[in-house]
C-alpha cells in the first residue's frame, strides 16, 4: 500500500501545486489522519515522520508544477 501512496501524493502536488503552501500543509496533516482512520497506524510520535514524508513527496509534485509554470511564463514573455 505504501508504494502506491507515493505517486498519489506526487500527483496531489502536481494538481494543486499552484497553491503550494496549503497543498503541503494539507498533505502533512491529512496523510497521518488517513493512516490513523484506516487503522494502519496508531497515534504516536512516529506519525511525525509520516507527515514529513507526505510533505516531501507532495513537495516533489509541487516543484514540478512550479517549474512548468515558470517555463510557461518564460516562453510566453519571450
| Cα–Cα distance measured from residue 35 to residue 2, given in angstroms and rounded to the nearest whole number | 10
Distance CA 50, CA 58 (A): 12
Q: pTM score, two decimals?
A: 0.85
Residue 23 has pLDDT above 70, yes or no: yes
Cα 21 from Cα 8, distance rounded (Å): 18
Amino acid 46: pLDDT: 83
pLDDT confidence band for 16 (50 / 70 / 90): very high
Contact 35, 47 (CB under 8 A): yes
Backbone Cα Rg of the chain: 15
pLDDT at 1 > cutoff 70: no
In the chain, domain spans: 2-77
Amino acid at each position: 500500500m505504501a508504494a502506491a501512496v507515493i505517486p498519489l501524493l506526487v500527483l496531489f502536488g502536481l494538481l494543486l501545486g499552484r497553491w503550494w503552501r496549503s497543498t503541503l500543509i494539507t498533505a502533512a496533516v491529512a496523510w497521518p489522519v488517513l493512516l490513523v482512520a484506516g487503522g494502519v497506524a496508531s497515534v504516536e510520535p512516529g506519525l511525525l515522520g509520516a507527515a514529513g514524508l507526505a510533505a516531501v513527496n507532495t513537495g516533489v509534485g509541487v516543484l514540478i508544477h512550479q517549474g512548468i509554470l515558470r517555463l510557461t511564463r518564460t516562453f510566453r514573455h519571450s
